[in-house]
Structure formats: structure tokens, C-alpha cells
Structure 1
């Protein structure tokens, strides 16, 4: 009898602990390249991008532990991957500077907190027609999703191994496809540097460190960066995150989650963090059956994921330094592979419904164009144009029906 209890108890803990570790490993390795690309695109130096990666990982790792222990549910958090892709898409059009970007990140955090305190604001976000929101996301993502093809043309010898590993793993080990592609890219970068040497100007700060930036409130950055970043984070991360948890029978503590993620974003912003939110896709790994048959103990997977993220945070300096010395376009290529699935889903969501296809198309092309008006980027204008077109066409159709 004693032997049976001894062997069963560890196994009851082992499943959720392992599920949490897998959640963190997959979530971190599959998207950190997107975060680096996004922060660098809006003016961050290599040191500031490393600081942002560190701040985000530490803060949402702690947030996961707090929420999971408090709610006894596997509440997992993440950085905003679509939000980072939005930043990356603004590389050619954003000119307000890094301090203004940091100020915009602070505004995003405030808006997230307010959303938790004022449910009507969350309802307003959810009332944006799904095809319009998905079209804006697709327009934002397409720039990075084209990166693998650009890298294939510019550096075929370096890019082909990454693509081959990613494709093979997608076929046989789909969950680990992106981590394996990233590992392959790191090996390729190491071989390239060993053969050709590193740039003398490349950063060499391998240890994790924080760099403080005084936030600057700039109207163009608030409208053109903070507003789209907030909407993308809410529509593509927080709302789906609630749905994922609900599908496994867990109610999301909305106010607590928005308070933790919003305050976390505000705290991380001066150190370079862009946005923290509920996890969406990776949430299923901690909340699903792989975390054990006993649903009442799956909160342990959340705690395990949070602790693992804290350990992974120590790699921030190493990863950003490697990305900085990598051949141009290779890290962006991995980021593009990480976003292909999200891009495909956004395209399907944007253009499936016939009645919203034209407004969605307008939103997509405006967001993808990279154009800037009054210092405000295409993502914001794409949303505005799409909503206006949707309203006009809906009113026109209603008038025809009444007539």
C-alpha cells in the first residue's frame, strides 16, 4: 500500500510539471525572434532589445505564478507576438524614436488596466468585426512572413537548412517545429561566425541586463503605435486566450488578469517591454489533457511554466547578441516561419465572409502597405478605413433592402 502511494504521487505531479515546462519552452523559443525584430524596428539598440526581452519574460513569468496559485487554474501569460509583428512591420514608417515607443508601451499598459476595470471597453473591442480585425492582423504579419523568401534569395546556403528542418519537423514533430528551426538557425549562425568572423561592431553583452529608458509621450506614436498595439493584443491574444481557457472548462479571472498584464506592461515598458497578455495557443498546453487527467491540479502546470520562464529569462542577453551578429535576414526568416500559421488563420478569417470581403481587403492592403499619414502608420489607417467601409456598405445594403 505504501509503495503504491509513493509511485502514484510523483506521477500526479510529474504530468502538470512537464506540461508547464513544455508550455514555456515552446512559447519562448517559437516567438522570441519576433519580439527582437519588433523592438529593433522601432529604435531599440541590441542592449535595449535584450532588456525588453528580459523584462517581459521575468514579469509575465511572475504573473503566471501569481494568477495560477491565486485562482487554482492554469492561467498562462505571454508577450504579445502579434504586437511584436506589428512593431516589425513599422520598420520603414516609424520615425518617432525609441523613447516615444516606450511611452506608447506605457499607454498600452494603461489601456489594458482600464479594460479590466471598465468591461464596456472590452466589449467595444470585441465588437470590431472579426474579418476587419483579422485583416489588420494579416496586413501587419505579411512583412515578416515574406522574410523567409527574402532570406532564401539573399543567403540560400544559410537559409535552406532552417527551412528543411522546419518543414520536416512540421510534418513529424509539429509542436517542436519552430524550436527546432531556431536551434538550426543558431547552429548555422555559429558556423557562419566561426568561418567568417563576427562584425567588430557587434554587441558582446552576453549576460542579461536591464536598460532604463525614460518614456516620452508623443501623439503620433500613441495614435499610430499604441492604439493598434492595444487592439491587436486584445483581439489576437486576450480574447482568444479567454476562449482557449473556456474550452477546457476554466473561467478566466478577467479583472485580475487584465490588472496583472496591464500593470506588468507598464512596469516592463521603461525597460523595453512592449505588451504582456493572456497566452492563446500555448495556453492549451498547460490547460489541456497533457497536464494530467485531474483538472483540479493543472494549475501546477501554470506554476511550472512561470518558473521555467524565469529560468529562460537568463538567456535574453545571449539570444539578442546572437541575433545581432547573425547574417542579415536570418533571424527575421525564423520569425516569419513562426508567424505563418497565424497569418494563414488571419487570412481565412478575413476573407471567408462574402459580405465583409471588400472592407477586409481595404484593411489588409492599407495595413500591409506601410504608408504613413501625419506620422501614423498603416495599421491604424487600415482599421479606420475598414471600419468606415464596413459601416457604409452595411448602411447601403440596409437602404436597398428597405427600398
Structure 2
């Protein structure tokens, strides 16, 4: 009996951890690009249901524990990008285009290889720049609302030390308690607690396609789909990458009019469902990912109540919880960005430009960070490929030998499932 229930329990834990750890990031991102509270609740419901359906389909179809989640780095990108000309309909149009690009990557492997060809330091630096604004929120919250923020941060620290998996959910519980103790019950008077789907007709413009749709596609691929695949391969599975991209991309397209920003393979929650804790028999672990999908879809029914709660809290407190959830992902991204000495300066340029939040020609910093880092990398490579200067006289025989250069990178965004929560964990 225990053997039969083990993958089901693992799936329940995966869904609970996935939802509680980063739904605040999703709501913050959707509201940042112009969604009303009702539209943000609809978007959270949409990505929960779309992720759940994708996980159930992939698990039943391939008998592999392919966990699916929303893109937390993608939601952080929305926070960093902010409102765009055209408002919420243009953001919805960008979500739809990003999903279509993911489907295309599943249909045409060359597109997926082109994304994978982006140098790891540049991709890691862009992701780090996107995450940085939210990751500074806990510090700002400690200064602006210390009475609420101090208990949240302390809870996170204690749980991070003794029960790391539950650190962010525990911090969220403390935040909810703090909000409940300091907010009148009448504040929920006009809130929608039941799930409601708010459909929005998409709109498009060039700045949104370049400044939001393309970076959202790149972040979702580089920080979610590729690491999620690496987790499964690390556990001995041979998952069909193309099928996963087609399924998650299609559900993103379907969810976009309801406000869903991105659906993708999970990374950390993939480890929860695909590891030996889910079941000793690898052929039975798909039950965990299917259960997690069903659980996540059901948790989406609470999107209205979750949004109402977030609306009652000081914005910086909710951003602080989101920032705590992303600290591990930021550490992993920075490690990847700085791992290669030859590309370190280009990565720093990418990080600085992306983190600056600058908008030029209506296009946000994530795109310009990629451009600046790519140009910098190209210039350095051209210089290194140029004519070789005459070699100086050789060192005396007694000179100490030059230290050996570091070996191949051991940590990268695309191959480090334990570096931090980079999905709806």
C-alpha cells in the first residue's frame, strides 16, 4: 500500500511546493505589465490549469515524470519590463507569440539549437539581471515595513537551514498571518474569491514583440525547458524534448488570452517527482508528475482568493516573498555568468544593462542586455582572433610555472537543477 501511495504523495508535495513558492511572482509580474486584479487572478488560474493539463498529458502519453510549471523567471521578466505602450492587450499578444515560438522550437529543432547556441555566460547574465530587482525586495521590505517583513525573513532563514524545501512556503504562511493580523476583514468586501476567467483580445506592436515576447521565449527556454530536460536526463530518462515543447507551447498559446504568460518544463519540481523519493521504481514515478499536474490545476481554483490576499498586502511585502523564492535562481544565474573568464566582462555588461531596467525605443532592458553582451563578446573574440603579437623573451628556467587554467564549467543555468528555484516551485 505504501508503495502505491508514495508517488501520489510525492505529487501532492510537488504541487503544494510549486504553487506556494512562487505564485506571488506570477501575480506581481502580471500586474506589472498592466493586468487588473481580476485579470491577474485569471492569469494565475490559466497557467495553473494549463501546466496541470500539460503534465497529465505528457505523463500519461510517455510514462515519464515530466513535471510542468509556469515560468517564474518569465514572471520576473514581466516585473522588470513593466507596462508597455498598448497596455495589457499588448502583453497578452506577447504571451501568445512567445508560446508560438516554443511550439516552433518543438517543430523545428534548428530553432531550439539556435537558442542553445546563446553563450551560457550571456544567458546567465541576462537572467540574473532580470531577477535582481525582485531579489532586492526583501531588503527594501525590511526597511519600509519591518513589522511585517522581519518575521517573514526570519521564518525563511530558519526553514532554509532545517527544511529547505519548505522555506518559501513557510515564509508565505508567516506573511499571510501578518497580513491577517494587520488588515481589517472588511478589506475583502469587494474581492472576488471564486475563480473567474477574464479573456482579453491580444494586440501587437513591434516594441512588445522585441522587448517582451522574444525575451520571454528566450528566458523560458534557457532557464526552464533546458534545465528541466537536464534534470530528467540526470535521473536516467530519455524524454522527448520536441513533444514537451509542443505541448507546453500549445497550452501557453491557449492560456494567453486568459492571461497565462508561459508554461514550460519544471526544473526543481521535476527533481521532486523524478527522483527516488517519488518511488524506488523509475517506471512508476510518472504517477507523481501526473498527480502534481492534477494538484496544480486544482490549486489554481484558489487564484481569486490568492489575488485578493496579495491585494491587501503592502506591495513590497509580496515582492519580498517573491524575491526570497528567487534568490537560489539568482545565485545559479550569476555562477553561470561568471564561470568563463574569457566571457566575464561581456557577461557583466549584459547583467548591468539588463538590471538597469532601461527602455530604448520602447524595448526593455533584457533585449538590450543581450545585444550589449553579444557585441562585447564579439569584439573580444575578434581581438583574440586577430594577428598575434611577437612573443616576449621566454622566462628564466627558474621562474615558477604558470597555473593551469580552470577546467570546464561545472555549474550552469542549463545543467544545475539544485542551484535554485527557477520555476513554479
TM-score range, shorter chain: over 0.9
* Alignment correspondent of 1:188: 178
For 2:270 and 2:220, how far apart are their aligned partners in 1? 15
1:383 aligns with 2:370: yes
Question: 1:297 deviation in Å?
Answer: 0.6
1:167 aligns with 2:154: no
Bigger shift: residues 344-353 or 289-298:
344-353
1:18 corresponds to which of 9, 15, 22: 9
The 5 Å alignment of 1:3-402 reads 10-91=1-82, 94-194=84-184, 198=187, 204-401=191-388
Q: Deviations over 1:187-218 (max 9, x none)?
A: 111111039x6398xx5001111000000011
Question: 1:94 deviation in Å?
Answer: 3.2
Question: 1:116 deviation in Å?
Answer: 0.3
Secondary structure, counterpart of 1:289 in structure 2: coil
For 1:344 and 1:303, how far apart are their aligned partners in 2? 30
For 2:124 and 2:153, how far apart are their aligned partners in 1? 26
- Maintained 8 Å contact 2:73/2:131: yes
For 1:370 and 1:255, how far apart are their aligned partners in 2? 33
Q: Deviations over 1:231-289 (max 9, x none)?
A: 00000000111100000011121121111111100011000000100001110000001
* Alignment correspondent of 1:3: none
Q: TM-score, normalised by structure 1?
A: 0.95
Q: Deviations over 1:148-176 (max 9, x none)?
A: 11111110001001001000000011000
For 1:336 and 1:73, how far apart are their aligned partners in 2? 32
Secondary structure, counterpart of 2:69 in structure 1: strand
Structure 1 residues 373 and 308, CA, compared in 2 at 3 Å: closer, same or farther?
A: same
- Maintained 8 Å contact 2:188/2:308: no
Secondary structure, counterpart of 2:130 in structure 1: helix
Q: Deviations over 1:314-364 (max 9, x none)?
A: 110000111011123111110000000111111111112211011001100
Two-structure CA RMSD over aligned residues (Å)? 1.3
Structure 1 residues 252 and 158, CA, compared in 2 at 3 Å: closer, same or farther?
A: same
For 2:238 and 2:72, how far apart are their aligned partners in 1? 23
Bigger shift: residues 99-108 or 389-398:
389-398
When you count helix as a share of all residues, which structure comes out higher? Answer: 1
For 2:359 and 2:278, how far apart are their aligned partners in 1? 46
Question: 1:401 deviation in Å?
Answer: 4.1
Secondary structure, counterpart of 1:112 in structure 2: helix
Q: Structure 2: where are the runs of 5+ without partners?
A: 391-425
- Maintained 8 Å contact 2:137/2:319: yes
Structure 1 residues 251 and 401, CA, compared in 2 at 3 Å: closer, same or farther?
A: farther
